[in-house]
């Protein structure tokens, strides 16, 4: 890690990435009538694998497997694939609004894991409060789903919690293994190669292989998911994890569901409600508090 807090460049890049990840939700939804979402995810990883490999070869990135990255790379890939498999499977039992709340417990897990492994990267009470406030903004936006009759939703809820654990474990694996010193392209290749295989198998086992008409919407959605989301944004994310504190980066992830709602407002004509604007303000304030530089750095700056 080369930075102890996020500089403006990293903060702006995280906002941009969260916007991309929020748009991904809309892209999957737009293409869903023509292709099963889980199959979309498998094809996304498969297509991105080819692009990232070509880019890595162009940049002469060392892709050897005997440098100590194979074991953590395979583990990160399995965790990454498991996260998405649980997400898609869990949605058969629970609602999307409930899912968001359980999945976005992951930033807390990342922060606890980092503090446990790196006591020097501790968080002050105000920063924990910022994480809690950002999470509260997400709950305020999607929490209505928790008030509806649960039935068997608890099964999906537990799957979403499992997905959150895998999301956090993926980040921590990259942070605290030989992958931390590897090129972002190599780290990403491990994850998308393993997830392409695992998600394809899961799609077949779950019968999520439906393909309808090959429409411009489907082609555009897949192109966006492959090139922008899986190849570009994930490579940027692993570069950030390599150079910046994971606790600070994770706080920004609360922006993703809010960005997804905003994308729905802009592209799907969904209503912009006071709840959405309130959630944006709450999440933004929480992120600001979670990323306040430590007091000792402020004193040095003076």
Q: Residues 176-206: pLDDT tens digits?
A: 889 888 888 999 999 999 999 999 998 998 8
Are 197 and 80 in contact by the 8 Å Cβ rule? The answer is no
Q: What is the mean pLDDT of residues 209-219?
A: 91
User: Tens digit of pLDDT for each residue in 16-70?
Assistant: 998 898 888 788 888 888 998 889 989 999 999 999 999 999 989 888 888 889 9
| pLDDT classification of 223: cutoffs 50, 70, 90 | very high
Query: Has residue 56 been placed in a domain?
Result: yes
Work out the number of other CB atoms within 10 angstroms of the CB of residue 285. Answer: 15
pLDDT in tens, 252-297: 888 888 887 887 778 777 777 787 788 778 888 888 887 776 554 4
**Per-residue CA distances from 278 to 20, 96, 282 (Å):** 21, 20, 6
Residue 302 included in any domain = no
Would you say 189 and 49 are in contact if contact means Cβ atoms under 8 Å apart? yes
Instruction: Report the C-alpha gap between 46 and 64 in whole angstroms.
Output: 20
User: Which pLDDT value is given to residue 32?
Assistant: 85
How far apart are alpha carbons 296 and 273 in whole angstroms?
A: 41
Residue 1 lies in a domain: no
- Name the residue with higher pLDDT: 6 or 49: 49
Q: How many domains does the chain have?
A: 1
Q: Which domain holds residue 181?
A: 8-293
Whether residue 234 is contained in a domain is answered as yes
Residue 300 counted as domain residue: no
In a domain, 229, yes or no: yes
**Cα atoms in the 13 Å half-sphere on the side-chain side of 238:** 28
Give me 282's structure tokens. 């709450």
The answer to the question of residue 216 being in a domain is: yes
* CA 162/CA 102 separation, integer angstroms: 9
- Give a yes or no: residue 3 inside a domain: no
d(CA 149, CA 142): 15
């Amino acid at each position: 890690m080369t930075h102890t807090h996020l500089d403006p460049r990293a903060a702006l890049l995280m906002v941009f990435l969260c916007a991309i990840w929020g748009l991904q939700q809309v892209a999957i939804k737009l293409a869903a009538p023509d292709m099963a979402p889980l199959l979309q995810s498998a094809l996304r990883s498969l297509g991105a694998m080819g692009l990232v490999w070509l880019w890595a070869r162009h940049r002469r990135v060392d892709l050897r497997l005997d440098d100590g990255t194979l074991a953590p790379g395979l583990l990160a890939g399995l965790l990454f694939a498991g996260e998405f498999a649980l997400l898609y499977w869990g949605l058969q039992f629970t609602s999307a609004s409930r899912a968001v709340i359980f999945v976005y417990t992951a930033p807390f897990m990342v922060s606890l894991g980092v503090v446990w492994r790196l006591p020097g990267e501790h968080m002050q009470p105000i920063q924990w409060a910022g994480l809690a406030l950002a999470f509260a903004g997400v709950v305020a936006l999607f929490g209505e789903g928790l008030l509806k009759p649960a039935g068997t939703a608890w099964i999906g809820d537990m799957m979403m919690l499992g997905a959150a654990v895998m999301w956090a474990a993926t980040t921590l694996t990259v942070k605290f293994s030989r992958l931390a010193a590897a090129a972002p392209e190599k780290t990403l290749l491990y994850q998308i190669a393993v997830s392409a295989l695992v998600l394809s198998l899961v799609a077949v086992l779950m019968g999520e292989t439906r393909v309808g008409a090959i429409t411009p919407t489907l082609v555009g959605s897949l192109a966006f998911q492959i090139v922008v989301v899986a190849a570009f944004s994930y490579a940027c994310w692993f570069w950030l994890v390599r150079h910046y504190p994971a606790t600070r980066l994770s706080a920004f992830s609360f922006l993703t569901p809010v960005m997804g709602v905003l994308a729905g407002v802009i592209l799907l004509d969904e209503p912009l409600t006071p709840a959405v604007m309130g959630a944006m303000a709450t999440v933004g304030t929480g992120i600001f508090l979670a990323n306040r530089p430590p007091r000792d750095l402020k004193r040095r700056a003076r």
